[in-house]
């Protein structure tokens, strides 16, 4: 995929396709007069009703994109619309104009199965997010940006920062210029990779959640650990019904705090906006100087070694094979 159009006028290796009256189909090209990120975007011109398929022609879309029948996906893009003609008689500036549309082909032919929220007929800038499920019996399916009425308003539509994800998502976009991430090569023209934070010699991507929760038991001692690239506390923690506390400033990237609840209750962890944090862990016991990385629900890790023949060496990736048992001690939060 080429989400920012920085590597040419293609997505998944093919150019956009267009449908509509033969003489007045939409047209498109790379543009530098507006973009959401990087240095360019795709600019499509609509003169009358029609559609743009950013991921190429209808045929072959599933194979190109990897989408599969029966599964749910989210597509999103940052868009800008500028009209180039007056409103038609009786039209309203808020009237639906262009929207993400799912078309699929099944045993009984091709049809429209879902339509997203439409861009209005007035000047508009925003992120358009469309969640859809491909029919289980579909033999082909395609995504397009379609005009919604024959009385559509002619204009230019810029499209940039595209995402296509399996599952239900808010369509948030990130790339190598986003906090916690980096470009693997040339800026705006290479893959996005996590900006790793070293933990015990093992690089880990930063967590993306804002809040996480774990259930803690009364009278037990716990240690909360987190790694950060900053110099201030990485997280706040709060037992239900009690005030929130900040973790201490990190030492060598690691912040740890120990607590003993007086009542069994939920512990909520909150990552302040902009903080780059990785390897969040809650373990039972005092700070022990060892650390097991995890992303998501905190876990405790046990190694089965009845013969006592293996040694666990932290700080390297040349570990002997183990049978590892993971037990959830947290309640999944907003990841």
Is 206 in the same domain as 147?
A: no
Is 262 in the same domain as 158?
A: no
Name the token pair of 218: 């009364």
Residue 294's nearest CA partner among 168, 181, 202 is 202
Is 24 in the same domain as 156?
A: yes
CATH of the domain at 283: 2.60.120
**Structural domains counted in the chain:** 2
Report CA torsion sign: 55, 118, 127, 278.
negative
Name the token pair of 78: 């940052």
Per-residue pLDDT of the chain (335 residues; tens, 9 = 90+): 788 999 899 999 999 999 988 778 999 999 999 999 889 999 999 998 899 999 999 999 999 999 999 999 999 999 999 999 999 888 899 999 999 999 999 877 767 789 999 999 999 999 999 999 999 999 999 999 999 876 789 999 999 999 999 998 888 888 888 766 777 778 888 877 766 554 444 456 788 888 888 888 888 888 888 888 778 999 999 988 888 999 999 887 888 999 898 888 888 999 998 888 887 888 777 776 554 444 443 444 455 556 655 555 544 444 444 455 544 444 333 32
Task: Determine, yes or no, domain membership for 134.
Answer: yes
Which single residue is written with the structure tokens 């094979």? 321
Alpha-carbon distance of 140 to 12, in angstroms, equals: 16
Q: Hey, which residues does 72 pair with through a beta bridge?
A: 133
Is 258 in the same domain as 218?
A: yes
Is 237 in the same domain as 118?
A: no
Is 47 in the same domain as 149?
A: yes
Compute how many other C-beta atoms are within 10 angstroms of the C-beta atom of residue 12.
16
Is 47 in the same domain as 158?
A: yes
Task: Determine, yes or no, domain membership for 8.
Answer: no
Domain range for 54 is 17-166
Between vectors from CA 213 to CA 212 and to CA 218, what angle results, nearest 5°?
A: 150
Alpha-carbon distance of 160 to 109, in angstroms, equals: 32
Name the token pair of 334: 């907003």
**pLDDT, tens only, 46-66:** 998 899 999 999 999 999 999
Alpha-carbon distance of 187 to 4, in angstroms, equals: 11
**pLDDT, tens only, 210-261:** 888 888 888 888 888 888 877 899 999 998 888 899 999 988 788 899 989 8
Alpha-carbon distance of 147 to 154, in angstroms, equals: 10
Which run of H or of E encompasses 330? strand 330-334
Task: Determine, yes or no, domain membership for 236.
Answer: yes
Between vectors from CA 240 to CA 221 and to CA 207, what angle results, nearest 5°?
A: 75
Q: Which CA distances in Å does 20 have to 53, 172, 266?
A: 11, 31, 56
């Amino acid at each position: 995929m080429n989400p920012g159009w920085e590597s040419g006028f293609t997505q998944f290796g093919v150019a956009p396709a267009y449908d509509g009256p033969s003489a007045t189909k939409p047209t498109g090209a790379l543009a530098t007069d507006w973009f959401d990120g990087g240095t360019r975007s795709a600019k499509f011109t609509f003169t009358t009703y029609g559609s743009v398929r950013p991921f190429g022609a209808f045929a072959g879309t599933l194979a190109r994109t990897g989408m599969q029948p029966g599964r749910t996906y989210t597509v999103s893009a940052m868009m800008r619309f500028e009209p180039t003609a007056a409103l038609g008689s009786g039209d309203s500036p808020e009237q639906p104009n262009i929207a993400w549309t799912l078309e699929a082909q099944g045993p009984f032919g091709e049809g429209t199965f879902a339509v997203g929220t439409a861009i209005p007929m007035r000047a508009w800038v925003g992120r358009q997010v469309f969640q859809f499920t491909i029919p289980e019996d579909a033999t082909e399916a395609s995504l397009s940006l379609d005009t919604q009425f024959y009385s559509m308003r002619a204009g230019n539509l810029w499209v940039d920062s595209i995402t296509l994800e399996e599952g239900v998502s808010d369509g948030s976009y990130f790339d190598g210029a986003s906090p916690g991430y980096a470009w693997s090569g040339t800026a705006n023209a290479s893959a996005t990779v996590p900006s790793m934070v070293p933990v015990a010699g093992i690089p880990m991507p930063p967590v993306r959640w804002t809040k996480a929760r774990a259930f803690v038991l009364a009278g037990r001692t716990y240690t909360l650990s987190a790694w950060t690239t900053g110099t201030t506390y990485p997280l706040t923690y709060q037992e239900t019904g009690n005030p929130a506390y900040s973790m201490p400033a990190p030492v060598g990237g690691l912040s740890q705090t120990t607590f003993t609840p007086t009542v069994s209750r939920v512990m909520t962890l909150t990552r302040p906006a902009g903080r780059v944090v990785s390897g969040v862990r809650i373990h039972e016991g005092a700070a022990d100087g060892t650390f097991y990385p995890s992303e998501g629900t905190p876990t405790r890790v046990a190694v089965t070694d009845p013969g006592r023949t293996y040694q666990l060496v932290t700080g390297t990736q040349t570990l002997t094979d183990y049978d590892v048992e993971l037990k959830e001690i947290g309640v999944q939060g907003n990841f």
